[in-house]
């Protein structure tokens, strides 16, 4: 018996398209996390300017949570050998990323915050908030669901 977790290979995908979808989602998340980390100090200020419930402190915590979950989602999406527990952490992180962005995009659009950047790519690239941002966040959720369905780490019937 070993104290250390034993990495296991990723489960076989249900179709040949699933690895491509997961890789596409991983590339999108990678672009997001790199640009957010590159401008992290101003990314936190941007999140605070959204007027989210909880104030500035919660916005700062949310900014850190966004970056952490984006990084944690990558190993599952890239089909790396992982322990069973970490594979579950990574799959849940891929869902949490899309849920967070849906909520942020919806908040900014519905409350009509006076901001000129939605923050998908940090403050490096200014993306004007609008209904398109909600649809992009929903498409991230669709990609997460598709990748999860196709590479589900649990037992299949």
pTM, 2 dp = 0.91
When divided into structural domains, the chain yields a total of 1
Q: Does residue 96 sit within a domain?
A: yes
- For residue 156, tell me if it sits in a domain: no
Whether residue 29 is contained in a domain is answered as yes
Q: Is residue 139 part of a domain?
A: yes
Which domain does 91 fall in, by range?
17-150
Residue 28, domain member (yes or no) = yes
* Domain assignment of residue 10, yes or no: no
pLDDT 10s per residue in the chain (157 long)?
567 778 888 888 888 999 999 999 999 999 999 999 999 999 999 999 999 998 999 999 999 999 999 999 999 999 999 998 999 999 999 999 999 999 999 999 999 888 999 999 999 988 889 999 999 999 999 999 999 999 988 776 6
DSSP 22-90: HHHHHHHHHHHHHHHHHTHHHHHHHHHHTT-TTHHHHHHHHHHHHHHHHHHHHHHHTT--B-HHHHHHH
Domain annotation covers residue 11: no
């Amino acid at each position: 018996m070993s104290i250390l977790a034993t990495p296991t290979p990723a489960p076989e995908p249900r179709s040949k398209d699933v690895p491509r979808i997961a890789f596409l989602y991983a590339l999108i998340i990678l672009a997001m996390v790199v640009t957010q980390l590159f401008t992290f100090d101003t990314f936190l200020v941007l999140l605070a300017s959204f007027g989210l419930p909880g104030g500035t402190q919660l916005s700062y915590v949310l900014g850190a949570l966004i970056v952490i979950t984006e990084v944690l989602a990558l190993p599952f999406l890239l089909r790396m050998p992982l322990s069973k527990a970490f594979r579950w952490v990574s799959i849940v992180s891929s869902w949490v990323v899309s849920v967070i962005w849906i909520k942020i995009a919806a908040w900014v659009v519905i409350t009509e915050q006076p901001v000129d950047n939605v923050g998908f790519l940090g403050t490096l690239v200014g993306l004007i908030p609008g209904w398109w941002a909600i649809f992009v966040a929903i498409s991230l959720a669709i990609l997460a669901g598709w990748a999860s369905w196709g590479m589900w780490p649990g037992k299949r019937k």
